[in-house]
């Protein structure tokens, strides 16, 4: 089966949530999922999914992690573990913080194994990635309770 490339971006809430929903759907159909969360070192509640579903593997790469070097071997690791879906959660943040060069990510996407479903998430996705994607969803914030001073709520926002 051919895998496609998805981008979930924009200033609205729900990019990671959408990606994790897709991961659960894939895992429930027998697929193996490899998730890398960029620029996140805290163990958010969603990371517990890998303790419940053994076909979902999660790693966190953040400042201090050799992100570009780690990407080099990722497709080989995916092939060896026969992963069907790869999610690069908040990968655009790694570009914004200069922990990952855009050219390196473009090369990574272009070299995706044909059978792998690839999902990229994060705000301000560089438009240079758009031609490489098959699905692009831009989530737009219209209203958010953060504007009223409500902080992240446990189990809802983190």
**Contact call for residues 1 and 115 (beta carbons, < 8 A):** yes
pLDDT of residue 65: 60
Domain boundaries, the chain: 5-148
Beta partners for 137?
Answer: 8
CA 128 to centroid of chain Cα atoms: 17
pLDDT of residue 66: 60
pTM attached to this predicted model: 0.90
pLDDT tens per residue, range 91-120:
999 999 888 899 999 999 999 999 999 999
CATH of domain 5-148: 3.40.50.300
pLDDT of residue 98: 86
Which parts of the chain have pLDDT scores under 70?
41, 63-66, 68
């Amino acid at each position: 089966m051919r895998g496609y490339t998805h981008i979930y971006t924009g200033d609205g809430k729900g990019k990671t949530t959408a990606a994790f929903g897709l991961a659960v759907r894939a895992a429930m159909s027998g697929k193996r999922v490899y998730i890398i969360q960029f620029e996140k070192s805290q163990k958010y509640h969603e990371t517990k999914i890998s303790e419940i579903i053994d076909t979902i593997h999660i790693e966190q790469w953040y400042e201090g992690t050799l992100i570009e070097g780690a990407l080099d071997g990722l497709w080989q690791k995916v092939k060896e573990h026969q992963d069907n879906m790869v999610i690069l959660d908040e990968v655009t943040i790694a570009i914004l913080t200069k922990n990952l060069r855009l050219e390196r990510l473009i090369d990574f996407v272009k070299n995706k194994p044909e059978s792998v479903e690839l999902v990229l998430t994060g705000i301000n996705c560089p438009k240079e990635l758009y031609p490489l994607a098959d699905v692009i969803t831009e989530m737009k914030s219209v209203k958010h309770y953060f504007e009223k001073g409500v902080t992240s709520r446990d189990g809802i926002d983190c």
